[in-house]
């Protein structure tokens, strides 16, 4: 996820909590799929999905600081690419954000939580440039990297680079099966070994692992470690609903909060 800009959904502080340990389960190497095979299976399955709803549990380490966990209701539509997020629970309570690529002035429309912006009350509305300076506060990822489809796309970028013989984005290896508390059975993952300078989240290099839910074949858990093995990112999509036929009204700022159309 290197060379990316931060986005409006990351206005407030975010961060990491300790990840539960995993238990490796032995599997003969010959039985493991190649990274491209695992990726292609997920890509082909997701290509039939027009929209999704999920709960995203998310935490990061930003500038060396571990931040509180956030839980978000996330809606994503593939065409035109659209995302709506609503913060659940105590952290970021009341915050919402919506973005539709190329529409509504191509802005990220945000309903603020208390403390998001100095001197602005909870519930205040802002329309922000997705690449603006205000959006470089608390995350290393842009709005377009939200959602399971985006995760598949990021794996695909590395697969394509490796097929060209370009290893500057790193290498891919299938790992597992491993037991993780997020899943009911051992799962396979694609581990992306990231070289130094290739990714803003791990500037000195590291590894990002995409774990594939055995019930859907999709990467619903993404965990990143830095070069010293410290966890710096955790994204878990669960309660996943696929092809829910979301429409324009689900991503319309005026309908959500009374924002004027332009």
In the chain, where the domains are located: 8-256
**DSSP assigned state of 162:** H
Question: Do the beta carbons of residue 74 and residue 62 sit within 8 Å?
Answer: no
CA distance 57 to 70: 6
Helix (H) or strand (E) holding 242: strand 231-242
Tens digit of each residue's pLDDT, the chain (262 residues): 443 333 333 333 222 222 233 333 334 444 789 999 999 999 999 999 999 999 999 998 877 788 889 999 999 999 999 999 999 988 889 999 999 999 999 999 999 998 888 889 999 999 988 876 555 444 567 777 889 999 999 999 999 999 999 999 999 999 999 999 999 999 999 999 999 999 988 999 999 999 999 999 999 999 999 999 999 999 999 999 999 999 999 999 999 998 654 4
Which among 19, 20, 8, 149 has a CA at the least distance from the CA of 92? 8
Local structure of 125: helix, strand or coil: strand
Which among 88, 121, 82 has a CA at the least distance from the CA of 103? 82
Helix then strand then coil, in percent of the chain rounded to 5, is 20, 35, 45
Tell me how long the chain is. 262
Beta pairing class for 171-179 and 187-194: antiparallel
pTM over 0.85: no
Q: Where does 8-256 sit in CATH, by number? A: 2.50.20.10
Phi and psi, residue 153, nearest 5°: -60, -35
């Amino acid at each position: 996820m290197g060379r990316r800009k931060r986005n409006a959904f990351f206005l407030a502080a975010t961060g990491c909590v300790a990840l539960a340990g995993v238990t490796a389960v032995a599997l003969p190497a010959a039985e493991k799929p190649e990274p491209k095979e695992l990726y292609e299976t997920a890509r082909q399955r997701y290509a039939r999905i027009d929209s999704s709803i999920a709960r995203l549990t998310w935490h990061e380490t930003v500038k060396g600081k571990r931040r509180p966990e956030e839980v978000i209701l996330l809606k994503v539509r593939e065409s035109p690419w659209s995302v709506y997020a609503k913060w659940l629970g105590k952290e970021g309570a009341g915050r919402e954000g919506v973005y539709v690529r190329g529409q509504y002035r191509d802005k990220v429309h945000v309903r603020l939580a208390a403390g998001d912006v100095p001197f602005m009350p909870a519930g205040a509305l802002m329309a922000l440039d997705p690449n603006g300076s205000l959006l470089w506060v608390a995350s290393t990822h842009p709005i377009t990297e939200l959602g399971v489809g985006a995760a598949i796309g990021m794996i695909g970028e590395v697969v394509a680079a490796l097929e060209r013989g370009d290893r500057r984005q790193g290498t891919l290896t299938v790992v597992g099966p491993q037991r993780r508390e997020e899943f009911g059975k051992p799962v396979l993952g694609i581990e992306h070994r990231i070289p130094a300078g290739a990714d803003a989240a791990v500037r000195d290099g590291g590894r990002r692992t995409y774990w594939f839910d055995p019930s859907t074949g999709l990467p619903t858990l993404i965990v990143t470690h830095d070069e010293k093995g410290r966890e710096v990112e955790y994204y878990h999509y669960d309660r996943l609903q696929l092809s829910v036929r979301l429409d324009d009204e689900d991503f319309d700022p005026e309908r959500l909060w009374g924002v004027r159309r332009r």
